[in-house]
């Protein structure tokens, strides 16, 4: 019974967080299969890898006094090991699925997804242990703290690493890419270290909580800035598509991010098919803008040219349905 309650207490908040996160990716949703794969990585392989590496770390510190082992383990080993285990998924996405990794916002989204998966599994174990050792009161208090007050921490930590990888995605220089990836990872580790150290010191627990939420707010501000940046990309890179793949009315609707039917879209017995065509056209046009931006800012020019041509072909097909 206690394990079931622990699972529910960990899973329900995670589902809510994931639904909110999905909505934060406003202009071009990530493929659901990659979104879920990132979550599963955080929930299973990253947790297993962290446990193994942390046990090895514990054995390597066996000669240290107990307090020293605890401080080094929580303040140094755990942050490095856990962020490395989680960030591995982001590097796979960056290298293998580059065409779906468009920039900073995607990096934050994928990083947060991995973090939520990791936190969910970790919380199940913590909640079960709290119930066994402290009873219902201890269980409820820990659920409030780990799923509520600190519920966004792992998402924030790995979101920082993802932001670094997202910045690297937009660079031509390999050296710059490596530096940005390392800076993002370092930022995630430092944020994780600060949390563990400040929360472990009871006198600084409030400061640790404030620092955690400060990090969450800073990451959200970055997301808002990325919304503005992506909207500018759509406006800029679709402007010259008017007369080629888009009408002026379609461009106006896309540039204003209005998920409504553009002027001239008929409403008759074929409305559903036409609405579907407009929805698909909107997705293709948005991706077209991002691919044109990548063509101009990254080293993936040849691959993007092929995708740009394919997206224009798709848009023309959807326009035939709309006409």
242 pairs with which residues across the strands? 246
Burial state string for 209-236 with b = 16 or more CB within 10 A and e = fewer than 16: bebbeebbeebeebbeebbeebbebbee
Taking alpha carbons only, the member of 242, 98, 275, 227 closest to residue 170 is 98
- 0.85 exceeded by pTM: yes
Distance CA 217, CA 283 (A): 29
pLDDT band at 269 (very low <50, low <70, confident <90, very high): low
Q: Is 246 helix (H, G, I), strand (E, B) or coil?
A: strand
Give the 3-state DSSP-derived string for 24-36, with helices as H, strands as E and coil as C: HCCCCCCCHHHHH
Taking alpha carbons only, the member of 54, 50, 161 closest to residue 113 is 161
pLDDT tens sequence across 223-251: 999 999 999 999 999 999 999 999 999 99
- Radius of gyration of the chain from its Cα atoms, rounded to whole angstroms: 23
pLDDT tens sequence across 99-149: 888 889 999 999 999 999 999 999 999 999 999 999 999 999 999 999 999
Q: What is the pLDDT of residue 102?
A: 82
Task: Provide long-range contacts, Cβ within 8 A and 24+ apart, for 89-96.
Answer: 89/37, 89/38, 89/41, 89/42, 89/45, 89/46, 89/114, 90/38, 90/114, 90/158, 90/161, 90/162, 90/165, 91/165, 91/181, 93/34, 93/38, 94/165, 94/168, 94/169, 94/181
Tell me the helices (H) and strands (E) count for the chain, helix number first: 12, 0
What percent of the chain is predicted at pLDDT more than 90?
66
Q: Answer whether 142's CB lies under 8 Å from 176's CB.
A: no
pLDDT tens sequence across 188-199: 999 999 999 888
Domain boundaries, the chain: 2-226, 240-322
* 269 contact partners, CB below 8 Å, separation of at least 6: none
Q: Does 270 have pLDDT greater than 70?
A: no
- The packing angle between helices 153-169 and 78-96, to 10°, is 40
pLDDT band at 157 (very low <50, low <70, confident <90, very high): very high
């Amino acid at each position: 019974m206690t394990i079931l309650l622990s699972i529910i207490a960990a899973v329900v908040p995670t589902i809510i967080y994931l639904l909110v996160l999905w909505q934060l990716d406003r202009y071009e949703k990530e493929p659901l299969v990659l979104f879920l794969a990132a979550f599963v990585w955080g929930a299973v392989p990253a947790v297993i890898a962290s446990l193994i590496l942390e046990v090895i770390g514990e054995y390597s510190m066996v000669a240290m006094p107990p307090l020293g082992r605890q401080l080094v383990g929580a303040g140094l080993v755990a942050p490095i090991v856990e962020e490395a285990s989680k960030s591995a998924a982001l590097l796979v996405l960056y290298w293998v699925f580059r065409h779906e990794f468009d920039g900073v916002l995607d990096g934050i989204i994928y990083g947060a997804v991995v973090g939520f998966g990791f936190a969910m599994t970790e919380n199940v174990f913590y909640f079960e242990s709290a119930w066994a050792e402290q009873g219902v009161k201890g269980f409820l208090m820990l659920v409030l703290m780990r799923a509520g007050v600190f519920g966004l921490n792992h998402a924030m930590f790995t979101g920082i690493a993802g932001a670094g990888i997202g910045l690297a995605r937009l660079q031509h220089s390999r050296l710059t890419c490596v530096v940005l990836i390392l800076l993002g990872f370092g930022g995630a580790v430092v944020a994780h270290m600060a949390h563990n150290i400040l929360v472990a010191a009871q006198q600084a627990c409030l400061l640790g909580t404030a620092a955690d939420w400060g990090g969450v707010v800073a990451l959200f501000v970055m997301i808002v800035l990325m919304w503005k940046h992506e909207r500018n990309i759509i406006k800029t890179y679709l402007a010259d598509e008017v007369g080629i793949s888009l009408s002026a009315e379609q461009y106006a609707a896309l540039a204003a991010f209005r998920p409504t039917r553009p002027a001239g879209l008929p409403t008759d017995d074929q409305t559903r098919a036409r609405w579907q065509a407009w929805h698909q056209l909107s997705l293709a046009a948005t991706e077209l803008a991002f691919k044109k931006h990548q063509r101009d800012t990254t080293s993936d020019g040849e691959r993007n040219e092929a995708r740009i041509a394919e997206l224009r072909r798709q848009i023309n097909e959807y326009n035939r349905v709309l006409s």
